[in-house]
Structure 1
Amino acid sequence: MMLCLDCGNSRIKYGLSAATDDRWRCSGSLEHAALASLPGLLAPYPPPQHILCANVAGEAIEAQLRAVLHGFAAQWHSVRSTAQAAGVRNGYQNPGQLGVDRWCALLGARSLQAGNLLVVMAGTATTIDVLDAEGNFRGGLILPGQSLMRQALARDTAALPLAEGACERWPQTTADAIHTGTLFAQLGAIERVWAAWPDSICLLSGGASPLLAPHLTCPTRQIADLPLLGLRQLARQELNIS
């Protein structure tokens, strides 16, 4: 058994699986403050022999995870972005500088879908990455996620609130204007990249994906936990975990 961990800026996503199994025996997400509950959530299932961790949340979070999971006799793998893996070639000028969450999402996307892809992770930040049919990562964008945009308006302006509005065609309240504007900023960035890569399918993942998916006009598949799928693919094809 292997435990895959996607450590993001806001939450830890986890999935427990046999290497040869395409389903998760156990999966979910936790706020950073709730990490101590993870062993209890895993207790009803066979213990992992391997733990794969893709971490963009900092060294302190990884140290906490190691301590919390110390009771499992498992080999720990701190996953890093590389020049190539699992059928994907990393086009970054310095491959190691690509965020490992983006890298794992690309690996997960290629394991699910052939052809040209737009790989979108919508979370604290939104990333929009281009993957061609030959498995070449061409490059991509990073922008603040919708919640960060809303928080910036509330923090850095004198009169705008941290709005809880609704998406409206013609917003007529400040709350709706902020909600719609920040949502359209996300959608516009995705669809602008897709307009330059029009033969692609958008694979959309991340905590904010249910908010974005209904409004996208490009061909879209909403996929849960793309980085976890990428970690499992990496275990199978590169680490020979069985």
Structure 2
Amino acid sequence: MIVCLDSGNSRIKWGVHDGKQWLAQGAVAHAEVEQLRQLVGDWPHPAKVMLANVAGAEAGGRIREQLAPWLPVFSEARSEETRCGVTNQYRNPAQLGVDRWCALIGARGLSRTAAIVVMAGTATTVDTLDADGNFLGGLILPGGELMRRALAVDTAALPFANGSHADYPRCTDDAIVTGCIEAQVGAVERAWQRLGNIDKVCLLSGGNAASLAPHLGIRWRSVANLPMEGLLRLALDA
């Protein structure tokens, strides 16, 4: 049994895998990290525990504290130059966010074609894999909520918008929400077009993926948690 934990900016996602399928998955807010203790009671003897953490050393320490009985089989993923069929072409491979690295590995396990790997969360990342598994590079954007908050905080008259997407917005809230979605979708579609007329797939993951998916004008496939799929592959590859 393998336990995977993806510690992002807002939440800690977890999953339990038996080598064939996910037995259970869930998520807790960082402020409620003590809820992770229940996992130790429910799944007391994992063979491996894998963590990807982008929330900082303090958050990582709190996670370890809650999962102390698992520390003998605990491993934290790090971005590398090459692993599981993916070659990291970042100028400094170690500086690539480990969540992005794990998502790329997860994507490679799901598809052997070129891929646009999108994680829509607090931030939105749009990463490109070629058909040989080379990570060519990627984009980082503020997520939709961060975009809306920036307009509310840093302008004198704009609200924190709670509108809807529209082809031709006719109120300020709709204009802001539509603009934020169109910016995100546009970045994804430009990355897609940059790959050219080849066999490729767009893999869409993250808590805000559902807000982008209906507006994409390209083929896409939803994956519940790509970083956890990558963590699973890393655990099986060790």
**Is TM-score (shorter-chain normalized) higher than 0.5?**
yes
Q: How many residue pairs get matched?
A: 236
Aligned to 2:6: 6
Q: Does the Cα contact within 8 Å between 1:201 and 1:218 map onto a contact in 2?
A: no
Partner SS state of residue 236, structure 2: helix
1:131 aligns with 2:129: yes
Could you tell me how far apart the structure 1 residues matched to 2:173 and 2:45 are?
47
Aligned to 2:56: 58
Q: Does the Cα contact within 8 Å between 2:37 and 2:66 map onto a contact in 1?
A: yes
* Unpaired segments ≥5 residues, structure 1: none
Amino acid at match of 2:3: L
Aligned to 2:95: 97
> Structure 1 vs Structure 2: percent identity of aligned residues?
50
Deviant stretches of 4+, over 4 Å? none
TM-score, normalization by structure 1:
0.94
Of 112, 115, 130, the match for 2:113: 115
Could you tell me how far apart the structure 2 residues matched to 1:45 and 1:95 are?
34
- After superposition, give the CA deviation of every residue in 1:104-130 in whole Å (9 maximum; x if it has no partner): 000000001111111111111111111
Aligned to 1:212: 212
- After superposition, give the CA deviation of every residue in 1:35-90 in whole Å (9 maximum; x if it has no partner): 11112255334532321111110000000000011133642111100000001110
Q: Point out the structure with the larger helix share.
A: 2
1:222 aligns with 2:222: yes
Could you tell me how far apart the structure 1 residues matched to 2:39 and 2:212 are?
30
- After superposition, give the CA deviation of every residue in 1:172-194 in whole Å (9 maximum; x if it has no partner): 11111111010101001111111
Could you tell me how far apart the structure 1 residues matched to 2:236 and 2:45 are?
18
Amino acid at match of 1:6: D
* Unpaired segments ≥5 residues, structure 2: none
Q: Does the Cα contact within 8 Å between 1:48 and 1:74 map onto a contact in 2?
A: no
Amino acid at match of 2:123: A
Could you tell me how far apart the structure 1 residues matched to 2:58 and 2:154 are?
29
1:157 aligns with 2:142: no
Could you tell me how far apart the structure 2 residues matched to 1:130 and 1:216 are?
17
Partner SS state of residue 70, structure 2: coil
